[in-house]
Amino acid sequence: MSRSLVGLVIDTLEFAREGRSVSGSVPVSALPRLLDVVGTADALLECELHGRRENGRNWLSLQIRGEFDLICQRCLGPMPFVLETDAELQVIAPGEAWPDEALEDGALRLGADAIAAETAQAVTDLIEEEVLLALPVAPKHEEGCEPPARSDDKRAASPFAVLAKLKKH
Ligand SMILES: [Zn+2]
């Protein structure tokens, strides 16, 4: 069994500069924002975090794998989902310029994000953020499901509306 990453706190800049690596697992139940959209709280996410310094810049690469159920937006039933996401995060040191997506020549890689350096970054927060970005906004079974027969007047606020809002940032 792999080690738990719950509670692990890193200095992101130091982690990248020193080329450190850590791998382990995180239960969905440890990620509160994910619990709202995932139907399987006991699912485990397997994660790898690697730091590196390249061309004077500091990077974290984060791989996350997991299988859990999302909630189908049509029938509200469970929908199996396989998560495979690889994120590149540029760690911006205090005073360092933020990458300009339009102008910078290749410094910001395709699909890379920039994050401010933190001396006490919870690894689970990085993981939660990337998982939320990797989820479909409105998951639906491809076929064979129908909306629940009983329709209530007052519908519960969809957690996916919250997620859609997050994705705009
Ligand atoms: Zn469905």
Q: Quick check: is 4 in a domain?
A: no
Ligand 1 centroid–CA 140 distance in Å is 5
**Domain-embedded: residue 56:** yes
Residue range 54-93, pLDDT digits in tens: 989 999 999 999 999 998 999 989 999 999 999 999 999 9
Which residues have beta carbons under 5 A from ligand 1 (an ion)?
72, 74-75, 141, 145
**Residue 3: inside a domain:** no
Q: What pLDDT shows up at residue 108?
A: 47
Distance of CA 156 from the midpoint of ligand 1 (Å): 17
For the ranges 21-35, 94-108, 115-129, 131-145, the lowest mean pLDDT is seen at 94-108
pLDDT of residue 38: 85
- Cα 6 to ligand 1 centre (Å): 32
User: Which residue range is the domain that position 57 belongs to?
Assistant: 9-144+153-167
Residue 168, pLDDT score: 57
In a domain, 1, yes or no: no
Q: SS3 for the chain, per residue?
A: CCCECCCCEECHHHHHHCCCEEEEEEEHHHCHHHHCCECCCCCEEEEEEEEEEECCEEEEEEEEEEEEEEECCCCCCEEEEEEEEEEEEEEECCCCCCCCCCCCCCCCCCCEEEEECCCCEEHHHHHHHHHHHHCCCCCCCCCCCCCCCCCCCCCCCCHHHHHHHHHCC
86 vs 154: which has the higher pLDDT = 86
Q: Cα(72) to centroid of ligand 1, in Å?
A: 5
Residue 2 forms part of a structural domain: no
> Ligand 1 center to residue 158 CA distance, Å?
15
Count: domains in the chain: 1
Q: Please write the tens of the pLDDT for every residue from 2-52.
A: 799 999 999 999 999 999 999 999 999 999 998 878 878 789 999 999 999
Please check whether residue 38 lies inside any domain of the structure.
yes
Question: What pLDDT is attached to residue 40?
Answer: 80
